[in-house]
Structures are given as structure tokens and as C-alpha cells.
Amino acid sequence: MYKYDQIYHSLCEQITQILDHHGTALPTEECLCRTYQISRQTLRKALSRLENEHVLISRQGSSHALTGLYPGRTNQIVLMVHYSDVYLTPQRISRITGFFAGLHYQVLVMPTGASRKAEGDILEKLVSTPPRGLFVESISSALPTPYVHLYQRLQRAGTAIVFLGERYPNLFSGYTAMTDDPQGAYEMTEYLIGQGHHSIGTLLLSDDQSSHGKYLGFAQAMHTHRIPLPDVQVQWITLPQLEEIRQDRSLRMLRRILEGYPQQLTALLCQNDELAFLVIRALRMIASRDHSICVTGFDNSYLHETGTIHFPTMETPSLSLYACEQMLRCLRNLPPLADKLPWKRIGAGQSAGSL
């Protein structure tokens, strides 16, 4: 075995130890030459091999940053989502997979079916063979998770964890990719008020932290304009109820919820575009409801302009790309990006789906 091959294998072990201890770079070339008592030419042959394997990035001078890849291993990133084929998830999977494929990671998608038991079963499997990274779509993120110990075991094993949205309230580690929901809801409510709406309601997820932020922004805007907000104008559903609404083509449950709003309601702020789309369909089925209700969503998805349905929505810079950047920083042991992504309104207010 050539001398530089021996140095290569030794550097592989050293890089693994550095990553395990949350380091970000190798010592300088000068320091490595002294440690191994070798020439710079021999060292650079070993470093060049590691660069070709995408384990190192050369920096100005004689230092080398770590990319986050473990040398000599299959570097896998797991994407744990509710469903792989619902709403925005296929697009999110495609973007994350494409991003990390270009960085020589393998991405494995593991759907939970929005089941906490399935989440626990997946985490139990992962702790036996920890992946390099784990994206998590929290299940009912406003509620504590019973799997703190499994997330902590994964992190101790070197798994970088990024939550697609808020992390669980009883879990204090792991990076997050979040939107500024109070700001988005405040600005959408301000827009509706500016359009002459004063009887505005919400339909949000009670077990989701992002919904709590949206409610806060909505209520603050109403309070700023001294507009009364009766409790009956604020309705909540749970994640399991949303799944039931998705599966029911007659939208029976959703129609029943909508019939509970006061007749004078003129605008409705929904959790996201999917729920706004379903609300508009349900409103068209209710003969007793005023179809001039302006329904609004979030996400600027394909649903906000579909067929005869058009409604205003809120757009944010790509959450998938932001999540990828957070994961990359976590893999490289760099501090997380602290900012939440801001929302911007898209589309004009129209009656329930442009009837």
C-alpha cells in the first residue's frame, strides 16, 4: 500500500471523529504534515482523493472544510412525511431529493400516514441504523411527542434532524424550517379589511403550531382595527379530521362546520390552499349559505387557481430549499439559519371560487 493510501485511511477515521464531535474542518495542511511526518505532496494526494469523493472542500489557504459526508459510507437522508402523494408533498420530495442527490446523498422517503404510532415505529428502525440526516414533518406539532428519547438517540448517533415546520414543544433540539405565520395572517387579514370585510372567520388546525401563529396574526389585525371577533367565527379542526375531509367526496363534515358560522360572515381565512379549495367546493353545495364569502389560503399552490376556483393566497420563498439549506448547515455542524420565511399576498379577493 502506498504511503498516501495509508494517510487517506487515517484521514477517513479522523474525519469521522471530527463529524461525530461536531467539528467543521480538518487541521491545516501544515499541521497534518507534522502529525503524519509526511511531505505536502503525499498529503495532497490523499486530500485529493477525499475531495473527489466529495468529503472535503478546499478553502483559501491550506485548510479543508468538511461537506458533512462520512467517508466510506452510504450517506442516507430520510424524509419522514405524512403522505408521499398529498397536496404539496410530491413537489417537496422532488426538490429535496434533487438537491441532495447533487451532493451525493441518498434520500429515502418514509410516510407515516399522519400516525403517531407509525412515526414511533419508523424512529425505532432508524435508531438501529442511524441515517446521516432526517427531515421530519411533525404530526400534530402543537402536542408533545412521546418519542423525545428516540430523537435524542438519533442525534447522539450523529443524525442531523430538520423539522419541516415547528418542532414538537417538548423537543428542544433539531433545526427547523418555518414560516412567519403571525405576519402572514396579519397581512392577509389587513387586506380583507381593506376590501371592506368586517365579519371575517378562520378555519385552522387546532393541533398544529403554525395554525396558532396564524390565529394570533388574524386576531391582532382584527383588534388593531377594533373589529369584534365572536368565538363562533373561529373554528378549529384536527389533523385526523382534515384527513377525513380529504377522503369524503360529499364533504359532509366540512359542510356541517361551515353551517356553524354566522350568516353575516363575508370572508374566511383558511389553514392553507388545500383547505380553502375544499371550503369553496363545500360552500357551493350549501344552498343556505351566501356564496359571496371570500375564502383565502396559504402556500400559493396549484389549487388557488384551478378551473373555476380562484382565491387569494399567501406565498413564501421555497420552504423546501430553506429546509435543504438548514439540513446542509446541520450536517456541516454550522449554526442554523434563524430567520422565519416571510409571507407575501398573491391574487385578488374574489367570492367563493369566482361563482
pLDDT (0 to 100) of residue 308: 87
pLDDT (0 to 100) of residue 354: 32
d(CA 15, CA 51): 12
Domains and CATH numbers, the chain: 3-66 (1.10.10.10), 76-177 (3.40.50.2300), 181-316 (3.40.50.2300)
pLDDT (0 to 100) of residue 10: 85
What predicted TM-score, i.e. pTM, was given to this entire model? 0.87
pLDDT (0 to 100) of residue 193: 97
pLDDT (0 to 100) of residue 352: 43
pLDDT (0 to 100) of residue 289: 63
Local mean pLDDT, 10-residue blocks, the chain (355 residues): 79 85 85 88 87 83 81 89 95 96 94 97 96 97 97 95 96 96 98 96 97 98 97 96 94 95 95 96 81 91 90 95 96 92 82 37
pLDDT (0 to 100) of residue 12: 85
